[in-house]
């Protein structure tokens, strides 16, 4: 099919490349002409494993092009994916400004060209947004508004887009469903077909539930620390129950990223606007907000205060294999450490330059052992493999004191103790 993907950010670019790999003819559209120029020169603007190579190969095959307007190749599209950002607005609700600007463009370009097409919303949007879009496009009878939320994870985005766990399609007409059946013919995962509004809620509910699991484990980790129990073993014992499952039970310094923080508050706003208090979700956010403070408290107690103490922070991005630092929990931790007078050094394989703009007081080094040199404590904030697999002898030799805080429960606790480190994990010791 001919597909136009509007918005070439994380979701858009991975969607475009994956659909091209599935054999569709795709044009990626972005209003940012500089970005389009880069993309045309085969340069991928985001760091995502495998994406640039895959993008180049589908471009070479002629299945993927880029443009800055809907008035070119996109005019032929059978499906128009809307993949623009829906950032958090001042009150926490999703800002739909970019989305409605695209809808206006779609209306202007396709109203005079009445061929059956799907206008597919992949951006994460509050329940009812698809209905509003359908109203706005009401007189363009051949434009079918469809909700098809995206569940890809940064760091494995292309694989997730190529082999999704499920495809959720929310639509209001048989014609719309048949367009999507044709588009996803080559995919083998389960498909959930429902109304637009239900599909929209599935997306928010999924992210909110995953965030809930994490905050639940993080709160339990606080208790586990006091009880002297091991949260990792608790998680394993829980996860073997097929009703619970093993995923997303990892305690740590909290969740970050572009989705969980933004989508949980947006869902709270949806609840509020509809007169329903989502109290569990409020607590999920509260636990996540206070988890970095709780971690800093552990470090403070272990070091007998933070003033003048040297703390090395390993890993800055919100999770490994991404350059994304949005809502990364390393940031409030660094802020608090600096606030209390600690001397902070930091290392990350990709994100140091971005973080340096926020925290120029921190010293950054390309070498982990240089970051650890003279440190009174090291904190693992993001479980990059470079930060997890250390030469422990060397680490101990360069640090001023052998004190480790494992904010991701990823260091080998027994091994490091054998090397003489004092080890403290999240909910385990
Ligand atoms: C998430 C959803 O997983 C994805 O389906 C959705 O489309 C977008 O939001 P992403 O933000 O890329 O994806 O990352 P994810 O792997 O889900 O991790 C989010 C955060 O939770 C990270 O900061 C991670 O460190 C943290 N996390 C995850 C935990 O603290 N514990 C866990 O058990 C799992």
Q: Report the run of H or E that residue 226 belongs to, with start and end.
A: helix 196-227
Query: Could you identify the residue written with the tokens 């208790």?
Result: 223
Nearest residue (CA) to ligand 1, atom 28: 248
Task: Look at residue 114 in the predicted model and tell me its pLDDT.
Answer: 82
Task: Look at residue 413 in the predicted model and tell me its pLDDT.
Answer: 97
Report the CATH superfamily, name and number, of domain 2-194: NAD(P)-binding Rossmann-like Domain (3.40.50.720)
Handedness of CA 386, 387, 388, 390 (dihedral sign): positive
Q: Report the run of H or E that residue 196 belongs to, with start and end.
A: helix 196-227
Task: Look at residue 111 in the predicted model and tell me its pLDDT.
Answer: 86
Is 124 labeled as ligand-binding?
yes
Task: Look at residue 336 in the predicted model and tell me its pLDDT.
Answer: 98
The CATH class, in words, for 209-425 is alpha beta
Separation between Cα atoms, residue 358 and residue 104, nearest integer Å: 36
Q: Which two tokens stand for residue 173?
A: 């007409």
Separation between Cα atoms, residue 336 and residue 64, nearest integer Å: 46
Judge if the beta carbon of residue 284 lies within 6 A of ligand 1. Answer: no
ipTM of the complex: 0.98
Instruction: Report pTM.
Output: 0.95
Query: Could you identify the residue written with the tokens 């494993």?
Result: 49
The one-digit pLDDT tens for each residue of the chain (429 residues) are 999 999 999 999 999 999 999 999 999 999 999 999 999 999 999 989 999 999 999 999 999 999 999 999 999 999 999 999 999 999 999 999 999 999 999 999 998 888 999 999 999 999 999 999 999 999 888 999 999 999 999 989 999 999 999 999 999 999 999 999 999 999 999 999 999 999 999 999 999 999 999 999 999 999 999 999 999 999 999 999 999 999 999 999 999 998 999 999 999 999 999 999 999 999 999 999 999 999 999 999 999 999 999 999 999 999 999 989 999 999 999 999 999 999 999 999 999 999 999 999 999 999 999 999 999 999 999 999 999 999 999 999 999 999 999 999 999 999 999 999 999 999 998
Asked if the domains at 2-194 and 209-425 fall in one CATH topology, the answer is: yes
Judge if the beta carbon of residue 154 lies within 6 A of ligand 1. Answer: yes
Separation between Cα atoms, residue 45 and residue 60, nearest integer Å: 18
Is the separation of the CB atoms in 214 and 289 below 8 Å? no
Judge if the beta carbon of residue 153 lies within 6 A of ligand 1. Answer: yes
Question: Following DSSP, what letter does each residue of 286-344 receive, concatenated?
Answer: HHHHHHHHHHHHHHHHHHT--TT-EEEEE--SSSTT----TT-THHHHHHHHHHTT-EE
- Confirm whether 295 is a catalytic residue: no
257 Cα: distance to centroid of ligand 1 (angstroms): 7
Domains of the chain by residue range: 2-194, 209-425
Separation between Cα atoms, residue 343 and residue 307, nearest integer Å: 8
Task: Look at residue 139 in the predicted model and tell me its pLDDT.
Answer: 83
Q: Report the run of H or E that residue 107 belongs to, with start and end.
A: helix 97-110
């Amino acid at each position: 099919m001919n597909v136009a993907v509007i918005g070439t950010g994380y979701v858009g670019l991975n969607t475009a490349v994956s659909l091209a790999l599935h054999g569709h003819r795709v044009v990626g559209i972005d209003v940012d002409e500089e970005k389009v120029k880069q993309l045309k020169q085969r340069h991928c603007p985001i760091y995502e494993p495998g994406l640039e190579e895959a993008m180049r190969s589908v471009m070479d095959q002629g299945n993927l092009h880029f443009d800055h307007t809907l008035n070119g190749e996109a005019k032929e599209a059978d499906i128009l994916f809307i993949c623009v950002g829906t950032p958090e607005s001042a009150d926490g609700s999703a800002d739909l400004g970019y989305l409605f600007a695209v809808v206006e463009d779609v209306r202007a370009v396709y109203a005079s060209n009445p061929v059956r097409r799907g206008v597919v919303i992949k951006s994460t949007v509050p329940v009812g947004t698809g209905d509003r879009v359908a109203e706005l496009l009401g007189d363009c009878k051949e434009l079918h508004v469809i909700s098809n939320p995206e569940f890809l994870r940064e760091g494995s985005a292309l694989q997730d887009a190529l082999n999704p766990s499920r495809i959720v399609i929310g639509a209001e007409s048989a014609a719309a469903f048949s367009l999507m059946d044709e588009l996803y013919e080559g995919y083998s995962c389960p498909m959930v077909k429902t109304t637009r509004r239900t599909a929209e809620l599935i997306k928010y509910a999924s992210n909110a539930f995953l965030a809930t699991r994490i905050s639940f484990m993080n709160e339990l980790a606080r208790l586990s620390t006091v009880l002297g129990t091991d949260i990792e073993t608790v998680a394993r014992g829980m996860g073997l129950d097929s009703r619970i499952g093993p995923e997303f039970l990892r305690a740590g310094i909290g969740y970050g990223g572009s989705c969980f923080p933004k989508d949980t508050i947006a869902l709270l706003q949806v609840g509020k606007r509809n007169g329903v208090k989502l109290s569990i979700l409020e607590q999920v956010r509260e636990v996540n907000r206070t988890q970095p403070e709780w971690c800093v408290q552990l470090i403070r107690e272990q070091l007998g205060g933070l003033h003048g103490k040297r703390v090395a922070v390993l890993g800055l991005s919100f999770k490994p294999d991404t350059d994304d630092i949005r809502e990364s929990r390393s940031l409030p931790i660094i802020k608090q450490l600096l606030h209390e007078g600690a001397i902070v050094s930091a290392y990350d394989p990709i994100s140091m330059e971005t973080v340096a703009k926020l925290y120029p007081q921190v010293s950054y080094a390309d070498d982990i052992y240089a970051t650890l040199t003279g440190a009174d404590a090291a904190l693992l904030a993001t479980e990059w493999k470079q930060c997890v697999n250390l030469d422990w002898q060397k680490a101990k030799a360069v640090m001023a004191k052998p004190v480790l805080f494992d904010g991701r429960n990823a260091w080998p606790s027994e091994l490091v103790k054998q090397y003489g480190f004092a080890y403290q994990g999240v909910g385990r010791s």
